[in-house]
Amino acid sequence: MTVRLLPCGRRAVLVESDDVLGFQAALTQSLPDGVEELVPAARTLLVRFDPSVTDADRLGALLRQVSPVDSAVSEAGEVVIPVVYDGEDLDGVAAETGLSVGSLISRHTAGTYISAFCGFAPGFAYLAGSDPLLHVSRRSSPRTRIPPGSVAIAGEYSAVYPSASPGGWRLLGRTDVPVWDVERDPPNLLPPGTKVRFEAVTP
């Protein structure tokens, strides 16, 4: 595994890794003294620490010894998302991948996904674990408005749009599950590390 450590001010170290989920899972299992927060992104993990307990040099020495673990065996909870597969891009994605619509839906619902990180909008979780055959590009022309609850794919990720917004992801279907709700504690249903499964349902 390739790991690069970069200091971020006095209170954080940025870990560049090709296995962010595995690295985060390993740290979560045995959190080094002084570490206060882990903030994952697509290819990096920000490790925030208390400078009164440790420093970047000591923490960096520990981080270089970390071996990634299988994030799928973590103790994180699992969320099942019921999906009506009637998205505007369903037929197009099926044609592009050479699958029937039924096979496309079967492949999308077969996997267990992991919320790798959140971004773009509050509650927008990038769900890793897609079947490689479903790794498709974004639309060349983004839509100006995608309804909340839209289930979509782009690149190596799946996602559920938490709110109405522009977007270029391919729409496969929709769900009534609110993944972001400010009246809920916590508001984010899919924080990093959460396991996710999609389940096909009829309208």
**Taking the domains of the chain in order of start, what are their residue ranges?**
3-71, 78-200
Cβ contact 167:161 at 8 Å: yes
Higher pLDDT, 131 or 21: 131
Q: 2.40.100.10, 1.10.340.30, 3.40.50.2000, 3.30.365.10: which CATH number matches 78-200? A: 2.40.100.10
75 pLDDT more than 70? no
Classify residue 5 by burial, with Cβ atoms within 10 Å: 0-12, 13-18, 19+.
Answer: middle
Q: Class for domain 3-71, per CATH? A: alpha beta
For 74-104, give the DSSP string.
Answer: SS--EEEEEEB---TTHHHHHHHHT--HHHH
Cβ contact 50:36 at 8 Å: yes
Among 6-10, 62-66, 91-95, 125-129, name the most confident range.
91-95
Which pLDDT value is given to residue 142?
Answer: 94
73 pLDDT more than 60? no
Which pLDDT value is given to residue 119?
Answer: 84
d(CA 76, CA 189): 12
Query: What is the chain's mean pLDDT, rounded?
Result: 90
d(CA 24, CA 66): 10
Which pLDDT value is given to residue 70?
Answer: 63
Q: What is the pLDDT of residues 21-51, one digit of tens each?
A: 788 888 888 888 999 988 888 788 899 999 9
**Kind of pairing, strands 78-83 and 195-200?**
parallel
User: pTM (2 decimals)?
Assistant: 0.79
Which pLDDT value is given to residue 160?
Answer: 98
Q: What percent of the chain has pLDDT over 70?
A: 95
Query: Residue holding tokens 């979780």?
Result: 125
Average pLDDT over residues 53-57: 91
Residue 71 — pLDDT band, cuts 50, 70, 90?
low
d(CA 171, CA 41): 23
Average pLDDT over residues 134-141: 94
> What's the residue count for the chain?
203
d(CA 41, CA 44): 5
Which pLDDT value is given to residue 72?
Answer: 55
Average pLDDT over residues 128-137: 93
